[in-house]
Amino acid sequence: MQKRPKKWLAGLKRIAKKHGTPVFIIDHKKIRENHKEFTESLPRVQAYYAVKANSNPEIVKTLYKTGASFDVASFPEFMIVHDNIKNLPQKKRQDFIWDKIIYANTIKRIETLQALDQYKPLVTYDNIEELKKIKAHCPHAGLVLRIRVPNTGSMVELSSKFGAHPGEAVDLIAEAFNAGLVVEGLSFHVGSQCNNFENYMQALQLSASILKEAWLRGYKIKIVDIGGGFPVKYHSRVKPFKKLAGMLNTEIERLFPKDMEILAEPGRFMVANAAVLVTKIIGKAVRDGKTCYYLDDGVYHTFSGIVFDHCQYHLKAFEDGEKKVSAVFGPTCDAFDTISVAEELPDLKIGDLLYAENIGAYSTASSTYFNGFPPAKIIHINK
Ligand SMILES: *Cc1c(COP(=O)(O)O)cnc(C)c1O
């Protein structure tokens, strides 16, 4: 891990002093840089930011300004994005909704479909029951069929819950057209934090062969949505994004015609490294010879990614000192609220601050009010 400049550390401390802890600091400059890196590395791909990674409206606004589009998975997420685009001229509105939003949850409540229909949205599906629901409650939608692809070696696997079997894909496309609906594209997700780039290669090849068959049967499908999964450099074993981008560009060029629209749904990639959490030590004990620190933030709150995202965050002290292996717990009364049983930390005292980096994705997004402890305060910098 690189050592942070003193000035940067002092800045964190200043924010913690002013706003109290726990405080979650979102750096919008980083978000803009991430979007730039993504679009420059994948020139044929339009990025639809997966809002669930961090749905803070200020992040949506920043990414909207940089030219990003959005992947939403619920009606409230749809409205967070929609409220940014409502001033657009009505004439161009339809193109614009599709250019800017994909509703990428293949399972939708009937009430959601009813509420979405007036926007003529682009929505995903992966089974016949959902198709019937869309036909009945959101007949003005454009459809994207999500297929099931290998998720081998991804930190979070999704293929057990979502995606039509590739062998059923063309039939599901035909069913949609037979019902008077229109299928605009195919999508997939290789699993989140995907460090096995072969998943993308296989998924692209599967998509290409499904498309070929669909075209032969007269279905003009023009979108391929390559989903999320783009890995973040949490540690040195993560392969470089540049390498993945090179492989994707080559394969997209080889497999798809020039006029094919290529979408992606990066979530983590846009926000993970754009936030830092500062938390305070509120208790200290020695148990079985090991020093235990109790923090004012934990697994039910900003560290929820430890559970839901299978992600380990490292805590760092602001002062140097001889380090020893310590345990770190959250503030609630549940023993499950354990952030780490083995963090290398110097000897610290109650009231000292710690910080965790790369905590922007799947963290505050799934924070709760368990035990009456509210989520961390959110502060924006470089907006
Ligand atoms: C969660 C999700 C994403 C974002 O995934 P990342 O791995 O964070 O990039 C994209 N698309 C869909 C359908 C998702 O469910």
Residue 177 lies in a domain: yes
The atom of ligand 1 lying closest to the CA of 362 is: 8
84 and 187 together in one domain: yes
Q: Are residues 375 and 343 in the same domain?
A: yes
Domain with 294 in it: what CATH number? 2.40.37.10
Same domain assignment for residues 262 and 341: no
Domain that holds residue 312: 6-25+272-381
Q: What is the mean pLDDT of residues 111-128?
A: 97
pLDDT band of residue 88 (cuts 50, 70, 90) is low
Whether residues 66 and 21 fall in one domain = no
> Do 55 and 132 share a structural domain?
yes
pLDDT score at 20: 98
Q: Mean pLDDT across the stretch 201-206?
A: 98
Environment class of 120 (CB within 10 Å of its CB; exposed 0-12, middle 13-18, buried 19+): middle
Give the gyration radius of the chain's Cα atoms: 22
Q: What is the pTM of this model?
A: 0.96
Does residue 100 sit in the same domain as residue 220? yes
Q: Which of 45, 51, 71 to mutate to test the pocket of ligand 1 (most atoms within 8 A of CB)?
A: 71
Q: For the chain, what percent of residues have pLDDT higher than 70? A: 97
Please give the structure tokens belonging to residue 105. Answer: 């949850």
Nearest CA-CA partner of 164 in 145, 144, 141, 189: 145
Spacing, Cα 175 to ligand 1 middle (Å)? 26
Residues serving a catalytic function are: 333
**Residue 316: how many other CB atoms lie within 10 Å:** 18
The pLDDT assigned to 96 comes to: 74
Residue 264 — φ and ψ, nearest 5°? -140, 160
Is 159 or 339 the better-scoring residue by pLDDT?
A: 339
pLDDT of residue 25: 98
Residue 274: name the closest of 22, 36, 97 by CA: 36
Q: Which residue in the block uniquely carries the two structure tokens 């839901």?
A: 308
Percent of the chain at pLDDT exceeding 90: 93
Ligand 1 center–CA 55 separation, angstroms? 13
Q: How far apart are alpha carbons 305 and 368 in whole angstroms?
A: 12
288 & 205 share domain: no
Asked whether residue 264 is domain-assigned, the answer is yes
- Alpha-carbon distance 131 to 139, whole Å? 10
Instruction: Give the 3-state secondary structure of 87-104.
Output: CCCCCCHHHHHHHHEEEC
**Contact of 271 with 54, CB cutoff 8 Å:** yes
139 and 283 in a single domain? The answer is no
Question: From CA 147, how far away is CA 190, in angstroms rounded?
Answer: 10
Name the DSSP class of 376: P
| Among protein residues, the one whose CA lies closest to atom 3 of ligand 1 | 228
Residue 2 confidence (pLDDT): 61
87 pLDDT band (50/70/90 cuts)?
Answer: low
- Residue 90 pLDDT exceeds 60: no
Asked whether residue 160 falls in the same domain as residue 95, the answer is yes
Domain assignment present for residue 284? The answer is yes
Instruction: Note whether residue 1 is domain-resident.
Output: no
Boundary residue ending a domain (271, 296, 318): 271
Q: What is the mean pLDDT of the chain?
A: 95
Q: How confident is the model at residue 153 (pLDDT cuts 50, 70, 90)?
A: confident
Do 377 and 315 share a structural domain? yes
Tell me, what's the pLDDT at 89? 53
**Which residue's C-alpha comes closest to atom 5 of ligand 1?**
228
Average pLDDT over residues 25-47: 98
When divided into structural domains, the chain yields a total of 2
Q: Does any domain span residue 78?
A: yes
∠ CA 131-100-122, nearest 5°, is: 10
107 token code pair: 């399972």
Residue in the block written with tokens 């961090």: 54
Residue type, 221: I
How many angstroms separate the alpha carbon of residue 264 from the centre of ligand 1? 9
- Examine the fold and report which residue of 223, 245, 271 is the final residue of a domain before the chain moves on: 271
The amino acid occupying position 238 is: V
315 found inside a domain = yes
The reply to whether 159 falls in a domain is yes
What is the pLDDT, as a whole number, of residue 94? 61
Could you tell me the distance, in angstroms and rounded to a whole number, from the CA of residue 73 to the centre of ligand 1? 10
Which CATH number belongs to the domain containing residue 209 in this structure? 3.20.20.10
Q: Is the pLDDT of residue 241 over 90?
A: yes
Same domain, 267 and 278: no
- pLDDT class for 98, splitting at 50, 70, 90? confident
| 364 and 336 fall within a common domain | yes
- Ligand 1 binding pocket mutation candidate from 158, 265, 366 (most atoms within 8 A of CB): 265
pLDDT of residue 93: 58
Last residue in a domain, options 238, 271, 304:
271
Which residues sit with their C-beta closer than 6 Å to ligand 1? 50, 52-53, 71, 104, 189, 192, 227-230, 265-269
Ligand 1 atom nearest the C-alpha of 105 is: 13
Q: Report if residue 256 sits inside a domain.
A: yes
**Closest atom of ligand 1 relative to the 53 alpha carbon:** 8
